[in-house]
Structure 1
Amino acid sequence: MGIVFAPLGLVLVFTAAITPQWREGQARLGMTAPGSLLRSGLKGHGMGVRSGSVETLLLLRSDGLWESCLQVEHSELKQCWPVGGPYQRDPRVRLAQGLVLTSLFLCGTGIVLACIGVRCWTDLPLRGVAATGGLLVVMAGLLSLTALGVYTHNLGRLGMVSPSQGINNHRFPHLSLRPAGSLYFGWLGSCLQVLGGSALLFGFKRPRCLTCPSCPELPVCPVCRSCAEIEPETDVYEVTC
């Protein structure tokens, strides 16, 4: 369970980290100018716009940890760019970036240690190494859950300029922001990391030594299931009174 869930969680968290769909929003933009740049671009993509008429476009905005995108609905007009400005400088976004990067590093290290500790090609695992790998994977899952929680809790306020800074925000269309698909990938991957790491951490308890049925005081080897201190040639008889 741990060997399967831990890499799967790592892939999901990595996918969430590199995709720009942590939050998304829609805004309606009215075009009244006949010679506007956006109008000309839509004409070039085969979308007819009548001159002098008022047209409404639906803009789709999406933000991630390292990339933002803007797309016009029902068209091929899409532009992506690295995050910048107030959104990039927001301390909560910087915190989420650091936590996700640390989580990816810890999870990768934990998976390597778990593979070394499990040792599927041998009879006995290295329980301490496997448990250490599981602990790192659990810590990675908790860090990514913390990053996702901070981002989701402040989703609508990240990078927003306050009116007290003297910037007129009425020039820009209102954007209704909501959680996007990358967040769900991150939540699922983080939960899988916690489950997989816990399975590795608690799944390699030291087994109790079995005893030989005829000689209870002698331990039984867990590998060959035979009495450890009795020679194979020795005949053992059970005597009852």
Structure 2
Amino acid sequence: MHTPASMVTGIVFAPLGLVLVFTAAITPQWREGQARLGGVGRAVGGAKGAELLLLRSDGLWESCLQVAHSELRECWPVSGPYQRDARVRAAQGLVLSSLFLCGAGIVLASIGLRCWTETPLRNVAGAGGLLVALGGVLGLAALGIYTHHLQELGVELASTMSEFQGLNIHKLPSLTLRPAGSLYFGWVGAWVQVLGGVALLFGFRRPQCPSCPKRADTERAEAYEVSY
């Protein structure tokens, strides 16, 4: 089998990037912050008036609130101003489009590689690489929009949080939100997608190497004289 190294690199990088972006999309750690509460109704372990450290995290589809150093944690689907924010909706749409294009590109590239034959379908593999690279670009666009406006996106508490384990939390104190782990996973995954797609794009170009099979040149013929 004579598969170019660039195509092999691309078919390895593309699924890796897809997994990383998918992991980022489904986890609620795109941004996180913490706030201290003093004198809440009932603290962990029954102590009253104790100061608690709340850990807040938001993703594209889920938000979570946890009391530090305890098992008290609640997650809920994004809602309120955060959910309705056009920038969050844009990031959601771009990430879903990125996953779809990358998945379709991997399928095309796998067909183009044709591991069961001697030579790959270069045009098919290259078209798959184009879709993978485009998916990575859409992922980068979603991450760029979210990161740039991270501090401006709203913060919404679930209605059940005021009764959550007896904690009287009606208003979350001001907190500074910062990028979290899922966002970094997304950045790495999107760039890996772009690199994998670019590597597959080299499949459009026929390699020049002694070991590659060469087609017989049927069009070239030698001119000679014919004697009558």
Residue type at the aligned position of 1:24: E
C-alpha separation in 1, matches of 2:50 and 2:130: 57
Q: Does the alignment pair 1:139 with 2:134?
A: yes
Deviations 1:138-178 (A, max 9, x none): 000000000000000000111259xxxxxxxx953111100
Aligned to 1:93: 88
Q: Which among 19, 27, 31 is matched to residue 19 of structure 1?
A: 27
The 8 Å contact of residues 117 and 126 in structure 1, kept in 2 or not, is answered as yes
SS in 1 for 2:87: helix
Aligned to 2:107: 112
C-alpha separation in 2, matches of 1:208 and 1:62: 52
SS in 2 for 1:176: coil
Give 1:24-173 correspondences, 5 Å limit: 24-31=32-39, 36=41, 38-39=42-43, 42=44, 47-49=45-47, 51=48, 54-159=49-154, 171-173=171-173
Deviation of 1:48 (Å): 4.7
C-alpha separation in 1, matches of 2:140 and 2:132: 12
Unmatched runs of 5 consecutive residues or more in structure 2? 1-8, 157-169, 219-228
> Structure 1 vs Structure 2: percent identity of aligned residues?
70
TM-score (norm 1): 0.76
SS in 2 for 1:122: coil
Q: Tell me the C-alpha RMSD between the 2 structures.
A: 2.3
Aligned to 1:206: 206
Unmatched runs of 5 consecutive residues or more in structure 1? 162-169, 211-220, 230-241
Aligned to 1:217: none
The 8 Å contact of residues 125 and 203 in structure 2, kept in 1 or not, is answered as no
C-alpha separation in 2, matches of 1:127 and 1:7: 19
Greater Rg over alpha carbons, structure: 1
Deviation of 1:120 (Å): 1.5
Aligned to 1:195: 195
Residue type at the aligned position of 1:181: G
The 8 Å contact of residues 28 and 182 in structure 2, kept in 1 or not, is answered as yes
SS in 2 for 1:198: helix
Q: Quick one: higher RCO (CA 8 Å, sep 6+), 1 or 2?
A: 2
C-alpha separation in 2, matches of 1:171 and 1:182: 26
Which of structure 1's runs of 4+ aligned residues deviate more than 3 A? 207-210, 225-229
Distance 1:157 1:209, change over 3 A: closer
The 8 Å contact of residues 28 and 57 in structure 1, kept in 2 or not, is answered as yes
